[in-house]
A and B are shown apart, each in its own frame.
Chain A
Amino acid sequence: MVKRVSRLFIAILAAAFVLPAAAVIVASLKEGIKPYVDFFVWEPKYLRALAVSMFIAFLSSAGSVAVSVLAAYVFSQIKFRGRGFLFYIYIIVMMMPFQVTLLPQYIISKALGIYDTPAAMIFPAVFSPFAAFLLTQIMKSIPRDSIEAARLDTSSTLKIILRVIVPQMRGGVVCAWVMMFAEQWNMVAEPLVLMESEKNYPLAVLLSKTGPGAFSFAATALFMLLPLGLFLIFESEILEGLEGYRLK
């Protein structure tokens, strides 16, 4: 009985999450495929914004994972004075609401001359503490023996990271990449602060400015597609990564 009730509860909960997405797709098809044709052909502003979203999300998530793997190696494998304190600061920065760091990001992007370019979004994301934190937790579970054994073959730390450590935590790396991708994909406030030209805005920003109508729903449906597809493709890796993180 309890099992049945809990299943029913989970089904209702799942429906509550799925229904808005399904409603968007149904509403977007009210005028047939015309809104989708409009998106790809007659509304170049939105298509460009989609490409900008892809560009920013892909580069920032890939860059973030590359930097975070190295940071995670330092935090998990190298013992040095102040390591715990430094990692503690990482966690504090991660816990801060993004609005706190937005103004410094604005000032730094102006100083670097990257304000109003996609680079203003990409650079801060590359050094995001979340992926480093996640990968550190996962990397701590890798047996030291395998790393020590690899040291007998090569003295290059980079080679050890790429050939020994990363293959052992593939799920974690993919998980961090997809989560960073989704985070960057959904950003609205940051582009509004770090960019002023509409041509540089990602799709998330333009969507917040469209009115109701089949076109808005079609654009929203297309906006959901990429993160959803990535989740379907990498579902097992994401779960494996989160599982590895949970075990720490």
Chain B
Amino acid sequence: MKAVKITAAAFLATFVALTAVCLAAGPKIRDALSPTADYACSEDILLGDRLCQSLPESAVRHDGEGSYVLLAVPSEKYPERCYEARRTEVEVLETVDGRAALGYGVRPGDKALIGEDVEAGERVVLGREAG
């Protein structure tokens, strides 16, 4: 009986301590476990007489549903300031000097993630800005 009490007390103490640690160090733990992804900012590009947004080709992904980019958007799920990858459908109009001119989906200054190890909806740590 005493052993049960001691085990239960130790278990509860661990549980409460774990809760406290995860609350206090949650942002750091999440940063350590989140993938780091480089990003590129959307820039203006003139396509004939049409002003479009452009991103490096490596930021544009393709699957059965079409072309899309993963934008780094501020996450509301976590209490700390951080980003999550949000899938945004885009239309690639043309490729000029390694940059894809996009018809829609991206606004000036949007941060598009580069790299394969990020999935939509995932929390990400921003790495370096691609040139």
Interface residues of A (CB under 8 A from B): 40-42, 44-45, 47-48, 50-51, 54, 222, 225-226, 229-230, 232-233, 235-236
Contact = CB atoms under 8 A, between A and B. Distances in A.
Contact of B12 (A42, A44, A50, A233): A233
27 contacts: A40-B19, A41-B22, A41-B26, A41-B30, A44-B23, A44-B26, A47-B23, A47-B26, A48-B23, A50-B19, A51-B20, A51-B23, A54-B16, A54-B19, A222-B15, A225-B11, A225-B12, A225-B15, A226-B12, A226-B15, A229-B8, A229-B9, A229-B11, A229-B12, A230-B12, A232-B4, A233-B12
A204 to B, nearest CB: 16
Given A44-B79, A51-B20, A232-B8, 13 more contacts: A40-B18, A41-B26, A42-B30, A42-B123, A44-B23, A44-B26, A47-B26, A48-B23, A54-B19, A225-B12, A232-B4, A233-B5, A233-B9
Interface residues of B, number: 22
Contacts of A48: 23, 79
Given A40-B18, A226-B15, A233 B26 contact: no
Nearest to B12: A229
Contacts of A233: 5, 8-9, 12
Pick the 7 closest A-B CB pairs, nearest first.
A232-B8, A229-B12, A40-B22, A229-B8, A233-B8, A233-B5, A233-B9
A44 B33 contact: no
A175 to B, nearest CB: 16
Interface in B1-37: 1, 4-5, 8-9, 11-12, 15-16, 18-20, 22-23, 26, 29-30, 33
B78 interface: yes
B8 A47 contact: no
Contacts of A235: 5
Main secondary structure of the interface of B (DSSP, over half): helix
B5 A44 contact: no
A156 B105 CA distance: 76
Contact of A47 (B16, B22, B123): B22
Interface in B67-110: 77-79
A41 B29 contact: yes
Contacts of B5: 232-233, 235
A233 B11 CA distance: 11
A42 B84 CA distance: 12
* Residue of B1, B16, B30, B79 with most partner-chain A CB within 10 A: B16
A50 B17 CA distance: 12
Contacts of B77: 44-45
Nearest to B122: A42
A177 B18 CA distance: 24
A24 B106 CA distance: 44
Interface string B53-78: 00000000000000000000000011
A36 to B, nearest CB: 10
Nearest to B21: A40
Contacts of A222: 15
A215 to B, nearest CB: 14
Contacts of B9: 229, 233
* Residue of B15, B18, B19, B33 with most partner-chain A CB within 10 A: B19
A237 B96 CA distance: 78
